[in-house]
Amino acid sequence: MWKKIIFISISLLGFALAGGGNPEVKVINQCFKLKGDKQTHCLNIFYPGDINITIYPPTSKSIKLAGRKSSIERGTFNLKGQKRFILSVDTSNAKLPISCNINTAKKITDGSNLVIDIAVKDIKNQITLKDRDGRLLLVYNIRK
Protein backbone atom coordinates (compact mmCIF):
# COMPACT_ATOMS: atom_id res chain seq x y z
CA MET A 1 0.00 0.00 0.00
CA TRP A 2 1.39 3.43 -0.85
CA LYS A 3 0.19 6.89 -0.08
CA LYS A 4 0.88 10.19 -1.75
CA ILE A 5 1.73 12.62 0.97
CA ILE A 6 0.38 16.15 0.50
CA PHE A 7 1.51 19.03 2.71
CA ILE A 8 -0.74 20.27 5.56
CA SER A 9 -0.21 22.39 8.63
CA ILE A 10 1.13 20.85 11.86
CA SER A 11 -1.72 22.51 13.76
CA LEU A 12 -4.15 19.93 12.35
CA LEU A 13 -2.44 17.18 14.34
CA GLY A 14 -3.79 18.21 17.71
CA PHE A 15 -0.73 16.84 19.54
CA ALA A 16 0.94 18.79 22.32
CA LEU A 17 4.66 18.99 21.55
CA ALA A 18 5.72 20.26 24.97
CA GLY A 19 6.96 18.18 27.88
CA GLY A 20 10.58 17.27 27.18
CA GLY A 21 12.10 14.24 25.50
CA ASN A 22 12.14 13.96 21.75
CA PRO A 23 8.74 15.26 20.65
CA GLU A 24 9.31 14.20 17.03
CA VAL A 25 9.69 10.58 18.16
CA LYS A 26 6.46 10.72 20.14
CA VAL A 27 4.57 12.37 17.29
CA ILE A 28 5.74 10.01 14.55
CA ASN A 29 4.81 7.02 16.71
CA GLN A 30 1.38 8.59 17.18
CA CYS A 31 1.14 8.90 13.39
CA PHE A 32 1.28 5.13 13.07
CA LYS A 33 -1.67 4.77 15.45
CA LEU A 34 -3.90 6.90 13.22
CA LYS A 35 -5.87 5.60 10.25
CA GLY A 36 -6.57 6.79 6.71
CA ASP A 37 -6.24 10.48 5.91
CA LYS A 38 -5.32 11.35 9.49
CA GLN A 39 -2.24 9.11 9.24
CA THR A 40 -1.37 10.61 5.85
CA HIS A 41 -1.60 14.16 7.19
CA CYS A 42 0.46 13.30 10.25
CA LEU A 43 3.23 11.56 8.28
CA ASN A 44 3.34 14.48 5.86
CA ILE A 45 5.02 16.55 8.54
CA PHE A 46 8.03 14.24 8.40
CA TYR A 47 7.90 13.45 4.66
CA PRO A 48 6.58 16.58 2.90
CA GLY A 49 6.03 16.78 -0.82
CA ASP A 50 4.42 14.60 -3.42
CA ILE A 51 6.40 11.37 -2.94
CA ASN A 52 5.31 7.74 -2.96
CA ILE A 53 5.79 5.94 0.34
CA THR A 54 5.07 2.32 1.24
CA ILE A 55 4.01 1.92 4.87
CA TYR A 56 3.99 -1.55 6.39
CA PRO A 57 1.88 -2.74 7.98
CA PRO A 58 -0.80 -0.44 6.51
CA THR A 59 -3.26 -1.30 9.31
CA SER A 60 -1.86 1.15 11.90
CA LYS A 61 -0.40 -1.78 13.85
CA SER A 62 3.19 -2.90 14.36
CA ILE A 63 4.83 -6.17 13.37
CA LYS A 64 5.56 -8.03 16.60
CA LEU A 65 9.08 -9.43 16.39
CA ALA A 66 9.18 -12.81 18.14
CA GLY A 67 12.82 -12.73 19.20
CA ARG A 68 13.09 -16.52 18.89
CA LYS A 69 15.43 -18.32 16.52
CA SER A 70 12.63 -20.47 15.12
CA SER A 71 10.36 -17.52 14.37
CA ILE A 72 11.59 -15.11 11.70
CA GLU A 73 9.23 -12.55 10.14
CA ARG A 74 9.40 -13.04 6.35
CA GLY A 75 7.84 -11.33 3.37
CA THR A 76 8.27 -10.02 -0.16
CA PHE A 77 7.47 -6.49 -1.33
CA ASN A 78 7.32 -4.91 -4.77
CA LEU A 79 8.50 -1.33 -4.28
CA LYS A 80 8.62 -0.30 -7.94
CA GLY A 81 7.98 3.45 -8.20
CA GLN A 82 8.27 3.98 -4.45
CA LYS A 83 10.70 6.42 -2.83
CA ARG A 84 10.57 5.31 0.81
CA PHE A 85 9.69 2.18 2.78
CA ILE A 86 8.53 2.78 6.35
CA LEU A 87 8.40 -0.24 8.61
CA SER A 88 6.76 -0.25 12.05
CA VAL A 89 7.83 -3.02 14.46
CA ASP A 90 7.14 -3.94 18.07
CA THR A 91 10.42 -4.89 19.75
CA SER A 92 9.05 -5.83 23.18
CA ASN A 93 10.17 -9.48 22.75
CA ALA A 94 13.54 -8.72 21.12
CA LYS A 95 16.95 -8.04 22.65
CA LEU A 96 17.78 -4.41 21.94
CA PRO A 97 19.32 -2.71 20.08
CA ILE A 98 17.97 -3.84 16.71
CA SER A 99 20.29 -3.55 13.70
CA CYS A 100 19.28 -3.17 10.06
CA ASN A 101 21.37 -4.23 7.06
CA ILE A 102 20.65 -0.88 5.34
CA ASN A 103 23.23 1.53 6.78
CA THR A 104 21.29 4.64 5.75
CA ALA A 105 18.04 3.50 7.43
CA LYS A 106 16.73 5.99 9.98
CA LYS A 107 15.49 4.38 13.18
CA ILE A 108 13.03 6.17 15.44
CA THR A 109 12.21 4.48 18.72
CA ASP A 110 9.85 5.14 21.59
CA GLY A 111 9.91 2.34 24.14
CA SER A 112 9.07 -0.91 22.38
CA ASN A 113 7.93 0.82 19.16
CA LEU A 114 10.50 1.06 16.40
CA VAL A 115 9.87 2.84 13.10
CA ILE A 116 12.45 2.30 10.37
CA ASP A 117 12.55 4.71 7.42
CA ILE A 118 14.46 3.39 4.39
CA ALA A 119 15.09 5.06 1.04
CA VAL A 120 14.14 2.45 -1.58
CA LYS A 121 17.18 3.36 -3.70
CA ASP A 122 19.41 2.14 -0.83
CA ILE A 123 17.87 -1.35 -0.73
CA LYS A 124 19.73 -3.92 -2.82
CA ASN A 125 17.42 -6.93 -2.61
CA GLN A 126 16.65 -7.55 1.04
CA ILE A 127 15.91 -5.88 4.37
CA THR A 128 17.06 -7.76 7.46
CA LEU A 129 16.74 -6.94 11.15
CA LYS A 130 18.84 -8.59 13.87
CA ASP A 131 18.83 -8.34 17.64
CA ARG A 132 21.86 -7.46 19.79
CA ASP A 133 23.02 -11.13 19.77
CA GLY A 134 22.95 -11.21 15.96
CA ARG A 135 19.80 -13.35 15.86
CA LEU A 136 17.83 -12.85 12.65
CA LEU A 137 14.38 -11.38 13.40
CA LEU A 138 13.08 -10.23 10.01
CA VAL A 139 13.86 -10.87 6.33
CA TYR A 140 11.96 -9.00 3.61
CA ASN A 141 12.83 -9.64 -0.02
CA ILE A 142 12.46 -6.49 -2.11
CA ARG A 143 11.63 -6.18 -5.79
CA LYS A 144 12.20 -2.83 -7.49
Output the pLDDT for position 104: 95
- Count Cβ atoms below 10 Å from residue 36 Cβ, excluding itself: 9
Q: What is the sign, positive or negative, of the torsion defined by CA atoms of 84, 85, 88, 93? A: negative
Tell me the C-alpha distance between 104 and 30, whole Å.
Answer: 23
> Could you report the per-residue pLDDT of 80-111, keeping only the tens digit for each?
988 888 888 989 999 999 999 999 999 988 77
What sign has the CA pseudo-torsion 115, 71, 136, 68? positive
Strand partners of residue 93: none
The domain limits of the chain are 2-143
Alpha helices in 15-111 (DSSP H): 23-31, 36-44
Q: Summarize pLDDT for 111-135 with one digit per residue, the tens.
A: 788 889 999 999 999 999 999 999 9
How far, in Å, CA of 41 to CA of 3, rounded? 10
Per-residue pLDDT for 15 more than 80?
no
pLDDT at 102: 98
Over the stretch 34-70, which tens digit does the pLDDT of each residue have? 888 887 777 777 776 666 777 777 766 778 887 776 7
